[in-house]
Structures are given as structure tokens and as C-alpha cells.
Chains A and B, each alone.
Chain A
Amino acid sequence: MSNRFIQQVLKTQTNVLFLMGLVCSGLIAVSVGAIEIPVFGILANSLDQMQETVLTQIRLPRVLLAGLVGAGLAVSGAAMQGLFRNPLADPGLIGVSSGAALAVAVLIVLGGKFAGTLGLYGMSVAAFSGGLVASLLIFRIAATSGTFSVTYLLLAGIAINALSGAATGFLTYLSDDQQLRTFTFWTMGSLGGALWPSVIVAASIILPTIFILMRYARSLNVLMLGEDEAKHLGVKTKDLKRVVVICAALCVGASVAVSGMIGFIGLLVPHLIRLMISSDHRQLIPLAAVLGAVLLILADTLARVVVAPSEMPVGVLTSMIGGPFFLWLLVRQFSNRFGI
């Protein structure tokens, strides 16, 4: 009994700690930059006119967007990994993000004026559809072998990444100067364009999907036992898979639409939570959301500061950190399997 009580206390403590981390990283992120905004000034509400404008019009939307995108990517990563029962299923690696980016590229180049009138939601819809098509494709390919095998999953991901890379490349060739600039933004991933409308679009898509996925957390746990086992335990696996694929594609689609391709958050964050805290999706999903938000907020702050007054695309930064991490993960998995 007391053991369980201690666990409960630890759980609450972890949650509090994570939320504190979120608040702290948010405060740091809004205060650091070309124009210094002291944290104390924000809390005491004693900022001058300029600081206030920078805060409300530039910093705040950017930090919020970073948080939302980070949370969305981390949660969709956690959900996809649960669905495929595989820790390597990152939306970027298996081609969901590049499918979404391709759809956005098509919209930018071929949509013309049409794309402009649809605005951000149009981008989101395109990104969502691209992501969804890619997810369904991968899902079908990975399932042909009966169980989801890592090999099929990653190979399918490579193929889809290559295919959308080629298609995006072809579109780049067709595009004019203005479109070319926009592309660069997509492929590298940046939160530089963050304004309130993007925050609202991202929030209205990402937050609800996170809540929906949280409701399926227990079913995802049971799915870890295997698909037949989950069915034996009363889980409607078909519905579950459909919900997870759609929600993950929505999250990734919204993220890609507002910030381009930001890699490795979806891979790194859920894995860290599993290592440090628990694989129980009821904890994993909310904590991944918070940690994803924290990491991307900090990474984006770093990206703004390291090469100031210019700034680095945050996607480049996350890949620089995520790449080695992924290699480490691979080596660890193989050495586990073969006992090296």
C-alpha cells in the first residue's frame, strides 16, 4: 500500500517538475533576444512601450508556437511509436513529415492565388492530407509482413522520403525566386514566421488532438502486448489504429504548416520519457507534450541567440542534436538484441 502511495507522490512530483520546467523555459525564451526583456519586468508589469510590443507581437507568439509544435511533434511521435510498437517510428524518419511538406510545396507552386486565399488553414489541410497519405501508405506496407517489422517500416520511410524529396526538388526547379525562398523555409524548419494567426491555427489543431490521443492512452498500452492480445482484452484495434494515424497526421500536418520540417523531436522526447519515467501512455503522452514543448522552446531560443543578429533555422539545430541521439539509439538497440 505504502509503496503505491509513494509512487503516487512521485508521479505528482514529476508532473509539477515538468510544468515548472515549461514555465521557466517559457520565461527564459521570452526574455532572451536582440532586445533584452527582463523576466522581473514581465512579472512586475513594468516594461516600456518597445519592450511590450516586442513581447506581445514577436516573442510571445513565437514561444507559444514553439511550445505547441514541440508538444504536437512529441505526442505524434509517442503515438506513432505506440501504434507501430517500435521506438524508431518518428514522423520524420518514416516519411510523414516529408509527405506533409510535399503537399505544402505542391500547394505553393501549383496552387497559385488559390493558395493565398486559403491561407494557413489551407496549408494545414494540405500538410495534413500529405501526412495522412504517407502514414496510410507506410501503415499498409509495414503491415504486409503480418507484424510491423522495423525493417519494412524504415525502408518504406526511406523510400517515401526519397520520393517526396525528388518531387519537392522537381517543384523547386519549377518555382520562381519567391517560391524558392519559401521552400528553403519548409525544408529546414523555422519558427521565424511566427505570428498570432499561426499560433491560433496550431493551437486549434494540436491541442484537441493531444486530448483525443490521451483518451486512447490505455488502449495504446494494451496494444504493446500485440494486436491479437489487445483484441482479446477488448480493444477495438481497428478504430484505435485509425484514430492514432489521423491524430498523428493532424499534429504533424499542423506543425509542418506553421513551421516546416523540424526533425527528431518526435523521436527523442518519447524515448527520454520512457527511459526516465514510464512507458505507460497515460503518463507518457502528457509528459511528452510538456517535454517536447520545453525542448523546442529552448532549441528555438538557442537558434535565435547563437548566430545573432541573424538566426539559425531551428530544424537544423534539432537535427544536429537528434542525429547523434538516433545513432546512439540504433547502436543500443542492436547491442541489446545481439548481446554485444
Chain B
Amino acid sequence: MIEAQHISYSVGEKHILQDVNLRLSHGEMLAILGPNGAGKSTLLKVLTGTLTPDQGRVQIDGQGIDEYSILQLSKKRAVLSQSAQITFPFIAREIVMMGRSPHLVDRESHDDHRIVDEILYRLDAVDLSTRMFSTLSGGEQQRIQFARVLAQIWDQQGAYLFLDEPTSALDLKQQLNIVELARELSHERGYAVCMIVHDLNLARHYADHVMFLKNGRAVAFGTPEGVLQTRSIADTFDIPDAYAMKFAYT
């Protein structure tokens, strides 16, 4: 279980996060939504241990996140961020194999290759894997990056998977593929999945919990039925009720 208590984070005078609380168990999926600049990515960075909050603490499996070494943490949780460009010529498969890096002693073992093959097959990316990464389209690159992230925790039960707008560069079918696979893995392997998405429908269909973040505060947190109501959607995203209604549970 991952638990965040009273998380506050500010840069200078600006409060990015204020008193955010959340808890996510194995096998569950949490969707974080909110307008741009609400602090979603910052919250994710705090949860993954990239940023240390000014106040509050994050616990993973009952232990403070700062008590884990960076290597221990890398075997427990994987993060798909909105990644930077890769400037050097790598073959897509090499990128995926980099996900195995925390587990390698020296060279890639037979198991590592098996894991990479399995993931590429599951993601329907076998054909992509032999191509140069830089020649892939945005969506294909995103799929390879997702494969790389999965490779990191594929053989770990009860790992934590964080996805920062995993669907931003993808078409509808690929969006479904990625979120659906994350959903399956949460059941299959007990992953706790925490993702930032913009699509309310995606959150409604797949997530167990939904959090609305606005101006650094968690304005709503609960089941999709509870959170995705006309009132809270309209307030969080500053849109007219008539429009918000279309996304709400009825």
C-alpha cells in the first residue's frame, strides 16, 4: 500500500501542493485529474520519491519512501513520465531492455530477454522492437517507453506503477491498450497503479478511485461514482454545468 499524508510542496512563495492525502492498495487503480497547473505532475513526483515534500510523508508498504535506497525503490516502482527525447541512435529493444537495468548484475540474462519478449508481445510491439527508436512515431515511442517501464517491474508482485499522461500521444485504440493492460496487471500481479489522465471517460471506466486536483488541493477523492458528479466536474475544470453533465454519472 502507498499512503501520502498531508503533502505540501511549494516553490518560493507559490504553493504547488497543499495538504494532499491519498492511499492506494495493491490491485487498485487511481486516476488523478485536474486542470493544467493543478500540481498533478508534482504530486506524482512526490509519490515516486523524485521530489521531497516540504511537509507530510509518503509511505510505501509501511515504510517511509526516503528510507528506501534508490535501488530498492527502483525494484518496487516504475514511472512512465512525459519523457525527454533520446538523442542517440538506439534500437527500440535496447530501450526496453534498459528497464531491466536495476536487476542486472552484469549482462542481460536469459530471463531478462524472456521478459522483454513477453512484454513486447503483450503490447503488440514486436515489430517495432527491431527499429531505431528515433524513427518511430510519437505514439510508437510512447508504447516502447511503456514496455521499458513494465520491464522494470514485470517479475515483481505488488509493485507500484505510475503513469504521467500515458495516453497523451496516442490514438484511441492505443490509449485503450495501455490503460487496459495497466488495469489487467493490477489484477494479475497486484500492481497499485496511479495515473494522471485528462480523459474523464477513461477514468470512469477503469479506475477504482478518482482524485480531482485543483490549485494544489485535492478537491475530491473517492470512487468514480462519488467524484464524477456534475457539480465537482464543473467546479474543478471551470466549465458550465450543462457541459460537465455529459461526463457525470447519472
Contact = CB atoms under 8 A, between A and B. Distances in A.
Interface stretch (B20-28, B85-93, B173-181, B227-235): B85-93
A233 B78 CA distance: 8
A226 B50 contact: no
Interface stretch (A45-53, A183-191, A217-225): A217-225
B73 interface: yes
Interface stretch (A134-142, A161-169, A274-282): A274-282
Interface residues of B, number: 29
Given A234-B70, A274-B88, A279-B89, A228 B98 contact: no
B83 A226 contact: yes
B18 interface: no
A181 interface: no
Interface string B14-47: 0000000000000000000000000000000100
How many chain A residues sit at the interface, stated as a range, is: 20 to 34
The winner among B45, B86, B104 for most chain A CB atoms within 10 A is: B86
A225 B75 contact: no
Contacts of B48: 232
Interface string B160-173: 00000000000000
Contacts of A225: 83-84, 86, 95, 98, 148
Contacts of A280: 90, 94
A224 B101 contact: no
A178 B191 CA distance: 72
B58 interface: no
B79 interface: yes
Contacts of B94: 221, 279-280
The winner among A228, A235, A236 for most chain B CB atoms within 10 A is: A228
A244 B113 CA distance: 29
Contacts of A275: 89
A86 interface: yes
A231 interface: yes
A234 B90 contact: no
A211 B104 CA distance: 19
The winner among B48, B78, B87, B94 for most chain A CB atoms within 10 A is: B87
B8 interface: no
Interface string B113-151: 100000000000000000000000000000000001000
A218 B84 contact: no
A81 B88 CA distance: 10
Contact of B98 (A86, A222, A274): A222
B165 to A, nearest CB: 15
A85 B83 contact: no
A233 B76 CA distance: 10
B75 A234 contact: yes
A274 B89 contact: yes
A231 B89 contact: no
A87 B98 contact: no
A224 B95 CA distance: 9
B62 to A, nearest CB: 21
B71 interface: yes
Nearest to B100: A233
Interface string A278-296: 0110000000000000000
A224 B152 contact: no
Contacts of A235: 70, 101
A234 B73 contact: yes
A229 B113 CA distance: 21
B101 A85 contact: no
20 contacts: A81-B88, A85-B88, A218-B101, A224-B88, A225-B84, A225-B95, A225-B98, A229-B79, A229-B81, A229-B84, A232-B50, A233-B98, A233-B152, A234-B70, A234-B71, A235-B70, A275-B89, A279-B88, A279-B89, A280-B94
- Kindly list the 9 A-B residue pairs having the minimum CB-CB distance in the complex, ordered from nearest: A234-B74, A226-B84, A234-B102, A234-B71, A279-B88, A232-B79, A233-B101, A222-B101, A279-B90
Given A221-B94, A224-B98, A233-B152, 15 more contacts: A85-B84, A87-B87, A222-B101, A224-B86, A224-B90, A226-B81, A229-B81, A229-B84, A233-B98, A233-B99, A233-B101, A234-B101, A235-B70, A274-B89, A279-B89
Interface of A: 4, 81, 85-87, 147, 218, 221-222, 224-226, 228-229, 231-236, 274-275, 279-280
